[in-house]
Amino acid sequence: MPGPHFDHVALIGLGLIGSSISHAIRRGGLAKRITGAARSEETRKIAERIKLCDAVYADPAEAVAGADLVIICTPVGAFGPVAEAIRPALKPGAIISDAGSVKTAAVRDIGPHIPEGVHFIPGHPIAGTEHSGPESGFAELFDGRWCILTPLPGAEPEPVARLKRFWEACGASVEIMTAEHHDLVLAITSHVPHLIAYNIVGTASDLEKVTEKEVVKFSASGFRDFTRIAASDPTMWRDIFLNNKEAVLEMLGRFNEDLAALQRAIRWGDGDALFDLFTKTRAIRRAIIEAGQETPAPDFGRPHGATAEKKKSA
Ligand code: NAP
């Protein structure tokens, strides 16, 4: 069975995900050499100062030269230009993957630039925080989380198995599905919830009868949890909505229908309908805790566990 180790891993984009992958590789001794590419001089300087990689380049083609595994960790909107830039430098037999939150867009934008003999396997680690940048990463980010791989039809099984083992060695469990199914699942579990958070925080900041000061002062009554999600990186989330349009609109359609039913239940004083829904939703929360995707500890917006330690020191 192919192992999780690579001689040389190249990470294009050194933000939360790129830097966390680098830390996880170092923790597990999964590569002999890590190179990175970052767009801005500021990010490259920080990456060099904290010794995130063995070498950091401005030109992504230089970073991928000789790499056995390349992972593109930029916002989804940059995938096409990045793939085009690295194409001539990709080593025959290398695996190229990405960490993007929309998989049909990765196939569409990276796919056409993959040369013969290079294995393209799109991926998405379902792990993150609202922080970004090269100093926000930590080795434990993927521990106990899922990483979804969406190999193209006809993909060779051995490189897929190797990438799977790599992510497992980074702490994740791996599931394989099609890019289309991934985008539908993530639309309801991640993209629509973020849109709701962005919307409710936007609405609250734009009210006439309730002041912004009051919104902040009394935020512990529920609003605060939405603000954590709504603090996520604007570029990344703009690109997600621009690139997962159909699936997000489909799920939003369902969401609006269900919201209208709730509105009706409130208007007509249908307490049973409200109570039944709120009971059903508690069961989903319990299932998430039982699946190990959250702890039952109340955090009231505060991080706990390994993440807390990391953030405390940040
Ligand atoms: P991030 O912290 O904002 O880092 C993005 C990195 O990409 C930075 O190094 C940035 O360089 C670089 N970059 C941005 N635009 C670029 C461009 N046009 N060309 C080349 N490089 C560019 O973002 P992240 O949270 O790590 O997210 C990276 C990817 O992982 C995204 O595709 C996202 O959808 C996916 N993802 C994110 C999460 C999450 O929760 N954050 C979870 C799973 C997957 P500079 O610093 O120089 O600007």
pLDDT in tens, 125-141: 999 988 999 999 999 99
> 171: Cβ below 6 Å to ligand 1?
no
> 74: Cβ below 6 Å to ligand 1?
yes
How many A from CA of 2 to the centre of ligand 1?
29
How many A from CA of 115 to the centre of ligand 1?
24
How many A from CA of 30 to the centre of ligand 1?
22
Mean pLDDT in residue range 21-25:
98
301: pLDDT strictly greater than 60? no
313: pLDDT strictly greater than 70? no
> 281: Cβ below 6 Å to ligand 1?
no
Q: 120 has which bridge partners?
A: 96
DSSP 3-state of 44: helix
> 63: Cβ below 6 Å to ligand 1?
no
Q: Mutation test of ligand 1: which of 39, 76, 110 has the most ligand atoms closer than 8 Å to its C-beta?
A: 39
How many A from CA of 300 to the centre of ligand 1?
28
How large a percentage of the chain has pLDDT more than 90?
85
305: pLDDT strictly greater than 70? no
Say what the pLDDT of residue 212 is. 87
Of the given ranges (82-91, 109-118, 294-303), which has the lowest mean pLDDT? 294-303
Say what the pLDDT of residue 308 is. 44
Q: In the chain, what are the domains? A: 6-177 (3.40.50.720), 181-268 (1.10.3660.10)
DSSP 3-state of 56: strand
Q: Is 232 left (phi over 0), alpha (psi -120 to 50) or beta?
A: beta
With bands split at pLDDT 50, 70 and 90, how would you rate the model's confidence at 309?
A: very low
Mean pLDDT in residue range 266-286:
96
> 137: Cβ below 6 Å to ligand 1?
no
Annotate 139-153 with three-state secondary structure: HHHHCCCEEEECCCC
Say what the pLDDT of residue 182 is. 98
121: pLDDT strictly greater than 80? yes
CA dist 88 and 72 (Å) reads 16
pTM of the model: 0.92
Which tokens go with 255? 């969401």
> 82: Cβ below 6 Å to ligand 1?
yes
Q: Who wins on pLDDT, 54 or 313?
A: 54
Mean pLDDT in residue range 280-296:
90
Which residue, judged by its Cα, is nearest atom 40 of ligand 1? 128
196: pLDDT strictly greater than 60? yes
